[in-house]
Structure 1
Amino acid sequence: MKIFRILGAAVIAAATLSACSDSKNDKARQLLDEAQKEYDNAAYEKVLSLVDSLRRTYPEAIKEREKALQFFQDASEKLAQKQIAQTDGMLQKASAEWQELFITVEEHKKKGIATAEELSKLTNLKLLKDSLQARFDTQCATVRFIREKRKEN
């Protein structure tokens, strides 16, 4: 009689654990589906956040985590590409402004009428241009790194 009670308890416990596991996998799939929708809407930062939540909250949802990894890589690359385009636009604008001001300042220097304000603005534009160039180079390196990691996998 005791054996039947123990077996019954074991079956109930296993069923309960299985139901909890299925429930967690369902919730993980819901997060994955939401990440897919956000990816389709080009909300890449949201995708990264959802994938991070899925990985932290449902570590046992292996299939969902594997699919989420692909979303994470795709969204990371798309986000970096988007940032590259934005940075490139700002870099081109800053470079054009710097070049134009540089010519003016050089003419003013030759005439001896260059002002401290002009020189300061030229220096600040050079710093901005160099900073944007460094950001652009870093973002390009990020995309190259993501692509190399994909080739390894």
Structure 2
Amino acid sequence: MNHKQLAHLFMQKFLDETSNVVDMTAGNGHDTLFLAQHAKHVTAIDIQAEAIRSAQERTKEYHNITYLNQSHDLVDYALLAPITGAIYNLGFLPSSNKEIITTALTTIASLHRILPYVDKFIVVSCYLKHDGGYDEYLAVKNFVEALNKPYEVLEYETPLSPVTYLIDLSNSQ
């Protein structure tokens, strides 16, 4: 299985008809679609209008999604609470302007902002091979290690594969 399939299996353990989830980086809508199929409501966020349009097209048969065209570090997550879980697929929108990327600064800010409102899981996929990607990965790694919560790391040997963190917030240690 690839990282996306394993991440989806991990999230599915926590999802049911009452789940309220956030796709922190809507991108082309693959995670938004998965979440819409398994949760009561999805909030899909992306800074790029092109990504929002792409995700909307992929999920046009689903009516349980709210789209926010803004940076994930500026969202007031208290308005979305309670939140079952969140997923980040960091980097850039495939087949688009590769200069528009997530950054360590905004990603860590958004993780700090959403964390008090999430009760089950956070998934973060870090792509290391683009400008700023390795720095963002290190910042996420440090954030996850400081959480003192159980997590798994998915790593692959292929050059373009991400490092994915599966963070279980459902039980305190």
Both structures adopt the same fold (TM-score exceeding 0.5): no
TM-score (structure 1 length as normaliser): 0.24
With normalisation by structure 2, the TM-score equals: 0.22
Structure with greater Cα Rg? 1
Structure with greater helix percent: 1
Higher strand share: 2
